[in-house]
Each structure stands twice: as C-alpha cells, then as structure tokens.
Homo-oligomer: A and B are copies of this chain.
Amino acid sequence: MKILIDAMGGDHAPHEIIKGTLNALKQKHFKAVFFGDENLIDAELSHFDYKESEVEIVHTTEVIGNDESPALAIRRKKDSSIVKALQMLNEGKADGFISAGSTGALLAGGMVIVKRLKTIQRAALVSVYPTMEGMSLIVDAGANADINAETLFQFAQMASKYYENIFEVRNPKVGLLNIGTEKAKGNQLVLNTYPILKESNLNFIGNVEAREVPYGMADIVVTDGFTGNVVLKLTEGMAFAMVDRFKAVLLKNLKTKIAAAMLKSSLKEMKEGLDYREYGAVPLLGLNAPVFKAHGSSDAFAIENGIYSMLKFIEKDVINQLRKTLMEDE
C-alpha cells in the first residue's frame, strides 16, 4: 500500500503532518510518500525514528494557498505538492492521497487530474459528525457551495454507500436538512431535491431540522456545501462555547472547584467523545481514486487518524462499490 501525503498543506505543516504519518507507520503497514520541499521534510524527519524503507520524498517547489483561486492554481502551479501527488495517484502508482491543504484546490485538482466516476457531476466532501447516538455523515461538507438537486441526489447516494461500508449498517437513514419538517418548506434547492429522494431507493426519512442533527436523527444529512460547512463549524463552535460555559460554572467558588475535581475523569471522557480529530480526514467521493481532506488545523493525531480512515476506505474498495451503485442506477 502506497499513501501520498501533502507535507505542505495545513496550518501546522510540515511538522505535524510528518509526525502524524510516522505515528501511523508504527501501527499500520504502508509506504508513505511525502510531497513538498525536500529540505524542510528532511529537516523534520531528522527529529524522528522511522524505517527509511517506509518513507519516500517527492520534491516539489510550489504551494497552493487557501486564498488562491483553486482552478487557476491547479493549472498554473504544476510543481505544487497537490498537483504532483494527484498526478502520481492518477497514474496508478499509489493507493491514496491525503492533504490538509486547500479544499477547493483538492476538489478542482481531483476533478481535473484524477477525474470523476462515470455519471458523476461533482465530487462530494463527506464529513463524519459525532452525535448523541453515534455517527452521522454530512454531505456536502463544504466543497460545493452552489449545486443543483440532481447533484445533491448523487451525493446522497454516494454518502449512503460510504456509510454502509464505514459503519457496517445497511440502508442508513437519509434526511434532507430543512427549516421545517413540512414538505413545502425550504429554499428552491431543497424543494427540488425532496421528490427525487422520495422516489429513490434510498431509505429517505424526509426533512430533518438542524435541531435534530446533534441527536443523530438521520445517518446521512443531505445539504448544499455552504449550509453543510456552516453546520460543521457551528457544531464545533457551540461545543467549545458550552464547555467554556461549563468551565465557568466549575471555577465559580470553592464548592464548585471541589466538585470539579470530583468530575475530572468523567469530563475528560466526555471531551474525548467530542474530539473531531478522532476521525481525522474525510473523502472526496465521486473521484476515480481515494483523495482525503484533513482539517486545515490538523495536528499529528488528526493526520494519523486520517490515514487510518483512508486505509479502511482503500481496503473496503469503496470506490468500486460506488461505481456499481451508480451503474445500477443508470
């Protein structure tokens, strides 16, 4: 198994990216190929113990920033870590690529270089969402801000198949994120998507309000990439804000401080259940090869887990399963 890693992407690159990858190499058997500035990568590698036979470097001279136009950057920066890695992946010389860099560039590059599955219009970003019940998926999670109903339906199909594989649940519940439970509610995209989902083979449970999302009412929450990204980031913000409120309660006076000490280990467990880094990275579904996007603020722990998620995705051959699902639907 050969995994390509963008050593230049994300807020903590290359240090945390390399550290996380080397930690994963201690647990799983694969070959890691780092893409980026050779000198920087070598300097980082020198801090760690690792088997030289398991690590390779492909030197690249350019980096695509978050503030660049993704389509332009992919065309112009031919010697960037993202373009070079996607090319090697497309040539069949590797099994997957993970990056904490620009989502837009990863999507644009994926569509242009690795290309889409037959019949697929756009690649979807699928995010794992921890709920009170377990795990949901949000699709699209931020890659496609403006889309149409047919594309959104394809996203729901792909996410449903992905859920079946990752969580080993048949016919997961698919919900359409809306601002009311009634059929006639919502914006034009939602109104157009509802009947398509209703008539499909998916286990469609109808409209789901945002209030129900943290309770895991739907296994798959279908929405445009703008709203999906807002849902993910607001969830994160609210979790932090609530923990801050709770902390303020615990630090209020001597009595509450004693109580806080008594709760310490239980609170730690709760915090771990909210840690998005547990899931590390998420796939761009609809491409011909595994491309995973890690959070821009990923640390080594997130990258390590992201690699595990991708290894599972590759072992389960999810992409061929998506191919079959989409063919059946034709």
Interface residues of A (CB under 8 A from B): 66-67, 69, 131-132, 142, 145-146, 177, 179-180, 182, 184, 186-188, 190, 209-215, 224-227, 229-246, 248-250, 252, 255-256, 258-260, 262-263, 266-267, 269-270, 273-274
**Across the two chains, which residue of chain B brings its CB closest to A186?**
B145
Q: Kindly provide the distance from the CB of A255 to the nearest chain B CB, expressed in whole angstroms.
A: 5
Where chain A touches its partner, the secondary structure class is: helix
**Across the two chains, which residue of chain B brings its CB closest to A231?**
B234
19 chain-A/chain-B pairs, Cβ below 8 angstroms: A66-B182, A131-B241, A145-B186, A145-B187, A145-B190, A177-B230, A190-B226, A212-B237, A213-B237, A227-B230, A230-B230, A238-B239, A242-B242, A246-B270, A249-B263, A249-B267, A249-B269, A249-B270, A259-B260
Contact in complex: B179, A233 (CB < 8 Å): yes
Q: Kindly provide the distance from the CB of A228 to the nearest chain B CB, expressed in whole angstroms.
A: 9
Q: Kindly provide the distance from the CB of A290 to the nearest chain B CB, expressed in whole angstroms.
A: 24
Q: Given A210-B237, A226-B227, A236-B211 in contact, is the A244-B132 Cβ separation under 8 Å?
A: yes
Q: Kindly provide the distance from the CB of A260 to the nearest chain B CB, expressed in whole angstroms.
A: 8
In the complex, chain B residues whose CB is within 8 Å of the CB of A187: 145-146, 224, 226
Q: Given A67-B182, A67-B184, A188-B146 in contact, is the A230-B210 Cβ separation under 8 Å?
A: yes
Contact in complex: B256, A263 (CB < 8 Å): yes
**Across the two chains, which residue of chain B brings its CB closest to A143?**
B179
Contact in complex: A229, B132 (CB < 8 Å): no
- In the docked arrangement, what's the CA distance between A162 and B269, Å? 43
Contact in complex: B179, A230 (CB < 8 Å): yes
Contact in complex: A235, B233 (CB < 8 Å): no
**Across the two chains, which residue of chain B brings its CB closest to A179?**
B229
**Across the two chains, which residue of chain B brings its CB closest to A245?**
B270
Q: Kindly provide the distance from the CB of A141 to the nearest chain B CB, expressed in whole angstroms.
A: 10
Complex partner residue of A145 from B179, B225, B270, CB under 8 angstroms: B179
In the complex, chain B residues whose CB is within 8 Å of the CB of A274: 245
- In the docked arrangement, what's the CA distance between A266 and B250, Å? 8
Complex partner residue of A234 from B66, B186, B213, B242, CB under 8 angstroms: B213
**Across the two chains, which residue of chain B brings its CB closest to A69?**
B184
**Across the two chains, which residue of chain B brings its CB closest to A250?**
B263
**Across the two chains, which residue of chain B brings its CB closest to A212?**
B237
Q: Kindly provide the distance from the CB of A101 to the nearest chain B CB, expressed in whole angstroms.
A: 13
Q: Kindly provide the distance from the CB of A183 to the nearest chain B CB, expressed in whole angstroms.
A: 8
- In the docked arrangement, what's the CA distance between A240 and B209, Å? 14
Contact in complex: B273, A245 (CB < 8 Å): yes
Contact in complex: A262, B270 (CB < 8 Å): no
In the complex, chain B residues whose CB is within 8 Å of the CB of A236: 211
- In the docked arrangement, what's the CA distance between A146 and B212, Å? 23
**Across the two chains, which residue of chain B brings its CB closest to A273?**
B245
Q: Which 3 pairs across A and B sit closest by C-beta, in order of nearness?
A: A238-B238, A211-B237, A145-B187
Contact in complex: B249, A237 (CB < 8 Å): no
Complex partner residue of A249 from B182, B186, B248, B266, CB under 8 angstroms: B266
- In the docked arrangement, what's the CA distance between A226 and B178, Å? 8
Q: Kindly provide the distance from the CB of A298 to the nearest chain B CB, expressed in whole angstroms.
A: 15
Contact in complex: B270, A263 (CB < 8 Å): no
Q: Kindly provide the distance from the CB of A68 to the nearest chain B CB, expressed in whole angstroms.
A: 8
